[in-house]
A and B are shown apart, each in its own frame.
Chain A
Amino acid sequence: MTSPGNQGPLLAVEGLSVFYDQFRAVDGIDLTVSAGEVVSIIGANGAGKSSLLKAIIGQADRIEGIIRYEGGDLAGSTTAEIAAGGIALVPEGRRLFPSLSVEENLQLGWEVGRRGEIGFDQVFGYFPVLKERRRQKARELSGGQQQMVALGRALLANPKLLLCDEISLGLAPLIIDQLYRLIPAIKQRGIGILVVEQDITRSLAVADRFYCLLEGKVTLAGRPGGTSRAIVMKHYFGS
């Protein structure tokens, strides 16, 4: 994970396929994310979105193709090395450690990550409610608060690249708005963000660019402003 000059994109995925046993979940994808850019991956259930994120953080069973981060190939790197190098994931379904306190959950994000400017103060600034509840166990929080912890845990790793997997899943619209309002602030820090969502409207609203995935392949890519919703829907469902 060397960083030569950094003229190219932060993340460059080239011809990536992801396999589970014999099943090909992702089929020859190319995509890039630059620093300070929000890229959305949209697609239906089973389109390969989560598999793509798993591959980037080094948790896929088997992959083909190349994942370049800051110009270096991630092949052979462990998730611990990738996290320390500056890629953090907000996993689907939050995946907090339920018996650990809010503070302990956040602390683990800090420990596995890269040293940087985002500390507890910043995260508690984004989510004041977490400061009040920092001694409570994660399982005692509401779904929205748990998602804040999951996002806070990833931010404390001081990522250069933040991967968000379905952060709106199962949450009230008001909470989702609150979480999505943070995306521009995170982007302002120069962090590249890859957002995976089933909710097309919300996803395209924050994105600089998007890729539409269908059955493991990129069927459409572009800028939200330059593509009509009808065309996106067509590629989303493949009809």
Chain B
Amino acid sequence: MMNEIIQGILLGGLYAMFAVGLSLSVGVMRFVNIAHGDLIVLVSFLLLTLTTRLGLSVIAATAIVIPLTFAGGYLLQRLLLQRVLSRNNNVLAIVLVTFGLSIIIQYSLQGIYGADTRLVSGGGIQTATIVVGGGVNIGVLPLAIFLAAVALVSALDLLLYRTRLGARIRAVSDDIGSANLIGLPSARIYAAAMGIVGVTIAVCAAFMSVWTNFDPTSGSSRLLIAFEAVVLGGLGSLWGTLAGGIIVAVAQSIGAHFDAGWQLLAGHLVFLVVFLIRPQGLFPK
């Protein structure tokens, strides 16, 4: 059982990495981006092309992609999402628009790459393990992902709470009307925040595309788990999202120990139980 818990915690790092961008848009910018998972898959395919066609390493390809995803997030917010948000005060409009975006991305990827499952080569890191003893082996890649997730959450936390941009983002999140009244450029601030979400998407895509198989539809299936991590952790809390991701992953890992069919169900059940007891999440802001 110890092994399942450890593997679950490490998998939780991946879930948290997937969810932390969603956590920013839901908790701080207060909208739901249904296409979040599809954007991660889109970037995964981009990394696949860069590594296979140009022969770049994943790390070099990611370094190229990060500025692109920042710009992509910025422009997506500025040119599309902000227009929807400013013209419609209801939550449904942005859900529909990002749902449409999700479908466009999935079918475009299917058209270009086909429906096969893919994996990006990590140059041997996938199979490297550390033998801890007592029947516990820790994969080097899952450990690296977990540590990267902790680093990512720390960096975002510092950015949000220790920088001028962070204070501006929180101000617009608190009261966008007041931000406008005192002359803060709220549209540009939200666009920058979405650019940061874009960076988390690139980092997540880099690790996910090396560790797990993906195909054009994987994004939406993983979105549910990401939502569970965000809601479990409490809206607006980045560390909570990390905790939420770990809880769901450990539940899945223990569930799978008893029966492979129980893996996903166990995660959802634990989410439901915690949600019923603490609907505000574990660390609400």
Contact = CB atoms under 8 A, between A and B. Distances in A.
Nearest to B188: A80
A105 B120 CA distance: 46
B234 to A, nearest CB: 14
B184 interface: yes
Interface string A109-129: 101110000000000000000
B171 A97 contact: yes
B184 A80 contact: yes
A108 interface: yes
B52 interface: no
B168 A89 contact: no
Q: How many of chain B's residues touch chain A, expressed as a range?
A: 10 to 19
Contacts, number: 69
Contact of A80 (B170, B171, B177, B185): B185
Contacts of B285: 99
A91 interface: yes
Nearest to B181: A91
A95 interface: yes
Contact of A57 (B173, B175, B179, B183): B183
A105 B179 CA distance: 11
A100 B182 contact: no
B174 A80 contact: no
Contacts of B167: 100, 104, 107-108
A84 interface: yes
Nearest to A154: B182
Contact of A100 (B171, B180, B183, B185): B171
B164 interface: yes
Contacts of B88: none
Nearest to A111: B164
Given A59-B180, A80-B185, A83-B183, 6 more contacts: A57-B181, A79-B180, A95-B175, A95-B181, A109-B182, A112-B183
17 contacts: A57-B181, A59-B180, A59-B181, A78-B183, A80-B185, A81-B183, A95-B177, A95-B181, A97-B171, A97-B175, A98-B175, A99-B285, A100-B174, A104-B171, A108-B182, A109-B182, A153-B182
Interface of A: 54, 57, 59, 78-84, 88-89, 91, 95-100, 104-105, 107-109, 111-113, 153-154, 157
